[in-house]
A and B are shown apart, each in its own frame.
Chain A
Amino acid sequence: MKRREFLRNSLMGTAGLSLLGFPFAAQARPKNKKLVILHTNDTHSRIDPFPSDGRANGGMGGMARRASLIKQIRAKEKNVLLLDSGDIFQGTPYFNFFGGELEYKLMSQMGYDAATLGNHDFDNGLAGLQKQLPHASFPFLSANYDFSETILKDKFQPYKVFVKDELKIGVFGLGIDLQGLVGADMYGKTLYLDPVVKAKEMVKILRDEQECNLIICLSHLGYKYDTDKIDDRKLAAQVGGIDLILGGHTHTFLEKPDAIISPGGEETLINQVGWAGINLGRIDFEFSTEGKKKGYAAAVLPVHERTAISS
């Protein structure tokens, strides 16, 4: 009798649930999910490690080692996003000889999910960039360069939404003002648009329309300037809703990610891992369904392990 009653109740319960249309209710309380974000910036064509000849960073870096490290992490982690914040080009003869072909091929093999454009990625002009794009299996995201009057029209998206384990991660890209930094004939009719305005637009789309669980900005604006020039810290302070800014351009080695209180009171993390592929950045996010994101004081910040960087 008891058993039959149990069965009947269960069936009724299930029927009731189906009628009411709550598919998630059938599951037990969901376990937490984990996302591993790996990132680089300003890798500057450093295919091989710096020579060990007493120079700064001697023996560090190397893309084949980076590929190994990424494979090791992928072997242990289910949800990995691999991102780059620009300036993939320029710095070694590999770029002078092959124009970035090998850099893109290796990054494609490593399974990069997205990158943004740095100023040096324009060093061989728009045609030089266009020529190498077929070697990249990953998209370049740029929300504040307008290429519509150039040969690169429709080649880049402002953002991309990645789905990992049912988590939606919105990633968008921001580039630095090219005027004065890159030869005008190199970037041609590429327009630089206000990064703050575009970032607000991106957050609105990614939060409200795409309903992303996490928003990442790939930025080549630079970490910090003492002038009025826009940087990652000013961006975080002016635009709410970005969870993480992965920066570049200033070749900054951050001991741990910066946490900035953004409009709305939530924190935005900023990270940057130097240059030349000396380091691979890693930030893990734990996702739960319990409550809102915690404020600054309660946040557990990732820690930095001092690495053996010779200088």
Chain B
Amino acid sequence: MQNFYFPEKVKIAKIEQHSADVKLFRLQKNRGKFAKNRDGLVFNPGQFVLAGIWGYGEAPFGPASPPENNSYLEILIRNTGGVVTNAFHNLKNGAEATLRGPYGNGFPLKFFEGKDLVLATGGCGIPPIASLIEYIIKNRKDFGRVYLIYGAKTPQDLLLKERISNWEKQIKIILTIDKQAPDWKGGVGFVSEFVKEIEIDPNNSCAAMCGPGPMMNALEKILRPLGISDRRIFANTERKMQCGIGKCQHCTTGEKYTCTDGPVFYFDEIDRNWD
């Protein structure tokens, strides 16, 4: 009988500080490489893994690394003061952690092919979108016009800045912050004000978004005016995925399980959920 709860050992190969409370962790297998799925990917962008430390526990994270890269996996962790995130922030390079997954569905990459894409996220919601962008750039000719709209409170809260500047050659990027800051050249205020900069064919477009519950409403306000239908808006949702295999009930939303049916849902699938 397979034990789905048993995690594998991984090594922290690199730690980077990305903002005051967010660090990036590169996870490597002690020996060998990560297994690939049928599509030649270690995970499907949008899927999540359960990373943990013995003695502290596990928590769900959406990997941010290029999905075809099987030598490492990168996750971004915000120190929320919780047991697991705090323990991760105290780790040093070379330390050991645990990993299981990937779990859930991820974004429908094949369906995205040949279409214009609007990717919208804010703050800590960037990791799954980042891995999706890496995939898009690697297969750039398969996709139409691609926009990333990424908002944060201050310029310091924008994560993965180096990678964002690399992406700029391949996709159109709109960065916004809440209040004007010195030397800031991007947008200020609600992301919705920048919708007019987006030129897509609404009948042949998809949107992918990621953010915590309250942010979904804000992102929806951007995507709806673009004329993209709800069935083509794919929302990567955040819930308390604890077991990862559809048992513990923490991550349910309406009739769905975020861990097994999601975490990526058609927007109309979750929009009218009572919770």
Real complex partners, A and B? no
Q: Which residues of B contact A (CB under 8 A)?
A: none
Q: Which residues of A contact B (CB under 8 A)?
A: none
